[in-house]
Amino acid sequence: MEHDTSSNADCRERILEAAGEIFADCGFRGATVRKICERAKVNVAAINYYFGGKEKLYAEVLRHWHDFATKKYPLLFGVREDAPVDEQLRGFIRSFLFRLLDKGKPAWFGKLMMREMTEPTRSFERLVKEIVRPRDRILASIVQKMVGTSVSEEEIRLCCASIIGQCLYYYNAMYVVTRLYHQDVSKPDEIERIAEHIMQFSLKGLEHNSKHDEDRTKKETESRTSF
């Protein structure tokens, strides 16, 4: 099975494209090598030849489409790391929502990640280590800057979960939202509107959490100095 460099690259790209869509729609277990090859218009032996099997193809698909989605929608949506912290949070929310809700190729990695949450494969641990945990730390750092350093690690984690949970609702309930409210949450203007709502709602929650911590600290200080 010999090919020149250009045909090799073209064949690999076609397989990655076909596999990205099929894995996103069917999951790792539901996707078949034959179906991927038919979609890519390649011989069924091509996956073994170029990737070494279905499992290694899946791992490469995750890496390839993660890079694709991140390139289009950077983690903070282009907001500088030294920008005001509320702008960093807004950028994080917008990026996360666009990677989840956008139609077409940019959304494939989001779908793959959601499937990994409910149907984990052997790639799950690597995804947590290389993608999920670093992003969780970035969000936690943003939240901590907003609520103060005296807030406990558990409270920071709960605040982060609340922000992520609001975003995931629109992915998990996409068809219900469409049926109930005739709202297409995959449209860019709708994603922007949802992102701003989540941003403002989260700001209020974080402000409350910060004030609650300040009040608690004040009471503890007053209690210690009253003796």
- Sign for the CA dihedral angle at 205, 185, 71, 83 comes to negative
Q: What is the pLDDT of residues 32-42, one digit of tens each?
A: 999 999 999 99
Question: What token pair was written down for 54?
Answer: 């279905």
Q: What CATH number does the domain located at 73-225 have?
A: 1.10.357.10
Among 80-84, 116-120, 199-203, top mean pLDDT goes to 199-203
**CA angle 174-180-185, nearest 5°?**
35
Model confidence over 50-92: pLDDT tens digits?
999 999 999 999 999 999 999 999 999 999 989 999 999 999 9
Which of 87, 93, 109 has its CA nearest to residue 193? 93
- This prediction has a pTM of 0.87
- How far is C-alpha 59 from the geometric centre of its chain's CA atoms? 17
**pLDDT on residue 224:** 54
For 170-197, the pLDDT digits (tens) are 999 999 999 999 999 999 999 999 999 9
Confidence category of residue 140, pLDDT binned at 50, 70, 90: very high
- Residue 185, Cβ neighbours under 10 Å: how many? 20
Rounded distance between C-alpha atoms, residue 36 and residue 13, angstroms: 12
CA dist., res. 94 & res. 78, Å (int): 10
pLDDT band at 3 (very low <50, low <70, confident <90, very high): very low
The answer to whether residue 6 scores a pLDDT higher than 90 is no
> What mean pLDDT is predicted for residues 202-226?
67
Give the model's confidence band at 2: pLDDT under 50 very low, under 70 low, under 90 confident, else very high: very low
Same fold across 5-62 and 73-225: no
Domain ranges of the chain: 5-62, 73-225
Mean pLDDT (the chain, rounded): 90
Residue-wise DSSP of the chain: ----HHHHHHHHHHHHHHHHHHHHHHHHHH--HHHHHHHHT--TTHHHHHHSSHHHHHHHHHHHHHHHHHHHS-TTTT--TTS-HHHHHHHHHHHHHHHHH--SGGGHHHHHHHHHHHS--TTHHHHIIIIIHHHHHHHHHHHHHHH-TTS-HHHHHHHHHHHHHHHHHHHHTHHHHHHHH---TTSHHHHHHHHHHHHHHHHHHHHHHHHHHHHHHHHHHHHHHT-
Q: How many residues does the chain have?
A: 227
The whole-number average pLDDT for the span 205-216 is 72
What is the rounded end-to-end Cα distance, in angstroms, of the chain?
85
Q: Which two tokens stand for residue 43?
A: 């011989």
Instruction: Indicate the pLDDT class of residue 107, thresholds 50, 70 and 90.
Output: confident
Region 118-135: mean pLDDT is 95
Q: Please, which pLDDT band fits residue 209 given cuts at 50, 70 and 90?
A: confident
Name the percent of the chain lying above pLDDT 90: 83
Give the pLDDT score at 150. 84
Q: What is the pLDDT of residue 106?
A: 80
CATH class label, 5-62: mainly alpha
Whether the per-residue pLDDT at 212 is higher than 70: the answer is no
Q: What is the mean pLDDT of residues 192-213?
A: 89
